[in-house]
Amino acid sequence: MNERKSGARRPQTPSKARKGQRAEKPSAPRGPGRLDRAIRALARFVVGAALRVGIVFAVILGGAVWAMHAQLPEADALFDGRARGSVTLLDRNGDVFAWRGEQYGGEIRPGDVSPHLVHAILAAEDRRFYSHWGVDPRGIARAALVNLRAGRVVQGGSTLTQQVAKNVFLTDERSIERKLMEVPMAFAMELKYDKNDILALYLNRVYLGAGTYGFEAASQRYFGKSAKFVSPAEAAMLAGLLKAPSRFAPTTDIAQAQGRAAVIVRAMESEGYLTAAQAQAALGAPAGLSQAAAARIGAQFADWAMADGPDYLTTGTAEDVVIRTTFDPRAQRAAEAALAHVFETRVKPDSRAQAAIVVMTPDGAVRAVVGGRDGRAGGFNRATQALRQTGSAFKPFVYAAALERGMSPNDVVADAPLTLAGWSPENYGGGYSGPVTLTDALARSINTVAVRVGERAGRDRVRDVAKRLGISSPLAEGPALALGVSEATLIEMTGAYAAFASGGLSGAPWGLREIRLRGDDAPLMRADAQRRRVLDHRVAGRVTAMLEEAILRGTGTRAALPDGRPAAGKTGTTQAARDAWFIGFTADYVAGVWMGNDDNAPLTGVTGGGLPAEIWRDTMARLHEGAPVRSLPALREAPARPATVAASAGGDAEDETLLGAILADVMRALRE
C-alpha cells in the first residue's frame, strides 16, 4: 500500500531535515571531566607517595629502633647517672644541716616507694603509661588541644618513656632533632625494658631541685624520710617538682610548692587514685618541710667547711661523702638573731651596711658563721672571704709582743705627740693624756702609745706574734702596723683572739671533725684541734686581763654582758670608719663581729665600740643562757712602781722611743 496514501509520516533523516534546522545527534553516556580526572590522579599520587614515604619512614624508624635497641644496656646499670658525688654535712650533734653536690638516695624501684608516689607521678605526667608503647598519640592530641585553648604551651605530650629517653640517653637541648630522636629511643626502650624498669629509671634519674636526683634523695632532702613512707600530700609535692624543679622546690617557695601539689592531688582524685576524703585531707594539710630543711641555717658555714676540706672529698668528690663538723645550730641561731635584732632596732631600714659574725670555742672549733645580712649559700662570705683593715683590733698583738719583750701591763708610756719618718699618728677624738699604763692605753685604745709600744717591741716581733696567733694575711712594714693598717679576715682575727682565751694555745679555726664515705663506718680523715702553744701562758693571761679592762672601763663598755659574766675584748675602727670591729671572749666562747660597706664607703656614726659591740653582747648573751658563770684565764699583776717611757717636749721621736725603751729595760732590771 502506498505510504503516502495511508497518511503515515516517514521519519526524517538528518540529511532530509527541514531546511534551516540542525540535525540532532543521538545522546550518549557522559565520561569524567578534566577536573575530576585531575583530582583523582592527584589523590592516587598522594596516596602512593604517602605510602612510599610511610614505607621509607617505617623502614628508617625500624632501623633506628633496632640499632638503638641493640645498644641499650641493662636497666640496673643506669640508675645512678650523676657526674659527681654528694656531700652531706652533719652538725656537732650528728644531725644533717646541709647538703652539697649531686644528692642521690640510692637505687629504688616502684615496689620500694609509697604507692601514693607512683600514683602522683602517673597522674601528673603520664596517665596512660601502662597502655602505650612509648609514644602516646592520644596524649599528644590532648596536650595540643589544651595548648590551643590556652594560646600557649601549658602541657606537654611526652610520655614517661620519652622523658627517660631524654634524661638518660639524649640531652636537654630544645630542638626538633632531639625531639624526633625521642620517638625511636622510646620504642627501643619499650622493647628492651618492661614498664617497671622504665618507671624505676624515672624514679632514680629525674632531677628534683636543690641538687637532688631521684625521688629517694628528694624525699630525704625535703621531708627527712624515705620515699617509702611519704603521704599523699608529700607524694603530690614531689611529683609537682617535675614541671619545674627549681621553681617549685619547697626550699625555694613553700607556698608555691604547696599550690602545685594541690593540682596533683586533684589529678590523683580524678584518676581514682585517691578517694574524695583522702584528697580533701591532703588539701587540708599540705606537706611541709622537715625541721632540718626548714631551718635553712648554716649555709655559709657549709660553704666555708667545703672550701676548707680537701677538694677530692668535697667540691670535686666522685663519691657520696658524709662530713661531721663543729657546727652548732644553737650558736648559729643566736648569732643570726642578734644581728637581725640590732639591725631592726638600731640601723636605718635603707642602710646598705653589712655585718659578719664568727663564733668559736677557745680551741678554735667554729660553731657559727654569719657571712652577711643575707645568709644564703653561695653568696659572698664576709666572715671568711673579706679582707678588711683591722684597726685597733690588731693592738692586742702589739701588746703581746711587748710583754714577750719584757714589758709589764703596769709600765707607763707617754701619750704625747709623736713623729716617725714624717708620719704623726693621732688619737681618736684628738688630745693626749700624758703618762698612762699599758693596760690603760689598750683599754682606751690610745694610738700614740700603741705605736710607741710597737716600736719598743720591734715590728718584726709584732708580725711574728700575729702570725703565730694565726694571721696569715700580709702584714704592713711601717710603724702604722701597730694601728692595724694591715688587712685580715674576720675568721682569722677571731681565731687569733682564741689563743688568748685558751691561755696561749693555738686557736686556728677548724670545722671538719670527720670525713667518711656514705655507708662506711671507718673514717677517711679525722681532725681535732691543733693544740700547740703559740704564746707563753703568762703573756696570754696578762693580755686577757688587759682586754677585760677594755670592757669594764674602756672603749668596749657596751659589750659588757648583762649577768656580770667575765668577758674580754677589743674594739677596732679604721680610718674614716670604713670598718668597725669587736672581737672578744668569755671562758666558753670567742666571737668576732665586723661591720662595713661592701664598696668600702665610710660608715655613718658607727665605731667598733658601738653597733659591733652591741651585736657581740647580744650574741654572747644568747649563747650563755642557762650556762654557769666561769672566770677568764686572766693573770693580773699587783701594781708596782712603774717604769716610765718619757716623752720629751722636743727632739727626734725615733730617738725618744729608743731611749725610752732602754730606760724601761734598765728600770726593770733594777726592780728585779
What residues are annotated to the active site?
A: 125, 392
Strands 568-573 and 579-585: antiparallel
DSSP 13: P
State how far the Cα of 97 lies from the Cα of 354, in Å rounded to an integer. Answer: 25
Strands 354-360 and 366-370: antiparallel
Task: Render 599-653 in DSSP notation, one character per residue.
Answer: T-PPPSS--TTTHHHHHHHHHHHHHTTTPPP------PPPP----EE---SSS-H
Q: Of the candidates 527, 544, 526, 523, which has an alpha carbon nearest to the alpha carbon of residue 535?
A: 544
Task: Say how many residues make up the chain.
Answer: 672
> What is the number of helices (H) and of strands (E) in the chain?
23, 17
State how far the Cα of 218 lies from the Cα of 522, in Å rounded to an integer. Answer: 27
Q: Which three cell numbers stand for residue 114?
A: 609509697
Most distant CA pair in the chain, distance: 188
Using alpha carbons, list the distances in angstroms from residue 145 to 139, 141, 179, 271: 10, 6, 19, 20
E-assigned strands of 71-183?
Answer: 86-90, 96-101, 103-104
Give the burial string for 564-573 (b: 16+ CB within 10 Å, else e).
Answer: ebbbbbbbbb
Which residues are CB-contacts of 541 (< 8 A; sequence separation ≥ 6)? 503, 504, 633, 634, 635
Q: End-to-end distance of the chain based on CA atoms, in angstroms?
A: 185
Q: Which three cell numbers stand for residue 659?
A: 731611749
State how far the Cα of 333 lies from the Cα of 325, in Å rounded to an integer. Answer: 17
Which residues are CB-contacts of 400 (< 8 A; sequence separation ≥ 6)? 465, 469, 500, 535, 539, 540, 543
Residue type at position 390: T
State how far the Cα of 490 lies from the Cα of 508, in Å rounded to an integer. Answer: 12
| Partners of residue 487 on adjacent β-strands | 389
Cβ–Cβ under 8 Å, residues 284 and 277:
no
State how far the Cα of 129 lies from the Cα of 398, in Å rounded to an integer. Answer: 74
